Amino acid sequence: MVRKLVRYFNLLQVGLVYIAEFLLVAMVLLIFANVVLRYVFNSGIIWSEETALLIAVWFSFIAMALGVKLRLHIHINVLSSARIPAKLDALLWKIRDVVVILVGAGMFWWGWILIGFTMKSILPATGLPAGVIYMVVPVAAIFIVFDGLMDLLGVDMEETVLDQFLSGTLSLHKLLSSQNGDSEKDAGPGGDHA
């Protein structure tokens, strides 16, 4: 049951990576087009600023969720892992996981409240409810809580296979067969699921 859940979330996170890539490219193209139109043709895209803001918020929260999964967020080690007992080091990492879960749960709760408040306002240029901007917050929170919980419980999240696919060294077919548990050896070199 847990293995299937991990594989399901890993596939969803691959989707999140592609969504984030698309959003980043769309934002750059939209801002570039608006700047060219404004300075060369003395006109612009009316809805570009609101749309760029929406894309930036969505991209940021998706990146935040992926950063939690891969432990990419900045942290400061006051005590070196080599200088403290292994049990204390493990306890400190567990405390970190609990904090991540609590922050994710807070994001989910307050994100829903924020969406509720902002759905009543309308963005002037696009005509969309303002809550659309913040709909990504609870989604990112679900991934953050899940990854924090899996880290806390010590569940193997198969990051090696996911990293190989995202870096281009593993095909989609091999990712899916590995995710389905059909072939653990298809992960390629280094695919020992550390």
193 is written with which tokens? 């699921």
pLDDT at 17 over 90: no
Query: How far apart are the C-alpha atoms of 182 and 97, rounded to whole Å?
Result: 31
Domain ranges of the chain: 2-156
Residue pLDDT, tens place only, 177-193: 665 554 444 444 444 43
pLDDT the model gives residue 11: 83
pLDDT the model gives residue 112: 94
What is the average per-residue pLDDT within 17-41? 91
Residue pLDDT, tens place only, 120-150: 899 898 888 999 999 999 999 999 999 999 9
pLDDT the model gives residue 93: 86
pLDDT the model gives residue 100: 93
pLDDT at 80 over 80: no
Global pTM exceeds 0.85: no
pLDDT the model gives residue 178: 63
Give, to the nearest 10 degrees, the angle between helix 2-40 and helix 136-153. Answer: 140
pLDDT at 85 over 90: no
- In the predicted model, what is the mean pLDDT of the chain? 83
pLDDT the model gives residue 169: 79
3-class DSSP state of 122: strand
Task: Judge whether 158 and 6 are in contact, CB under 8 Å.
Answer: yes
